[in-house]
Amino acid sequence: MELSTSELAGTPVIRIRGEIDHGNASTLSTAIDDLLNTEQHVIILDVTQVDYMDSGGISVLLSALRRLRERGWLGIINPNANVQRLFQIVGLALDSSFRVFDDNAAAEQALRETART
């Protein structure tokens, strides 16, 4: 797994490439924790290039959601069908603090709407 960080509408985006599994989930967890420790209200993960995610990755997302829930939300950009199905199976798709976007433009629109409220 490779991580890089950028911004979208002033919000941090972690771009992930490869598989997210038990063997490397701690790397993603550390990257997210670093952002959460700066009092971010929204974090976006671009998973366009993620082929596979197991329960280790889901655990990282759930942990981030617990920390963000009272103050903001976690966004996911462009999960493939298998990853999106995993989100549905574990119930993430039902959580209002968890948002899935088809592309950067949709995520940026949501960020702009959040900034207005």
> Which residues lie closer than 8 Å to 17 by C-beta, 6 or more apart?
1, 2, 3, 4, 49, 50
Largest interatomic CA distance in the chain: 39
Return the CATH number at 41: 3.30.750.24
Structure tokens at 18: 């490869």
> Measured between alpha carbons, how far is 109 from 62 in angstroms, rounded to an integer?
24
Structure tokens at 72: 């903001």
Based on the structure, what is the number of domains in the chain?
1
pTM assigned to the model = 0.95
Distances (CA, A) of 23 to 40, 41, 44: 26, 28, 22
**Residue range(s) defining the domain that contains residue 100:** 2-116
pLDDT digits (tens, 9 = 90+) for 26-80: 999 999 999 999 988 999 999 999 999 999 999 999 999 999 988 999 999 999 9
Q: What percent of the chain has pLDDT over 90?
A: 91
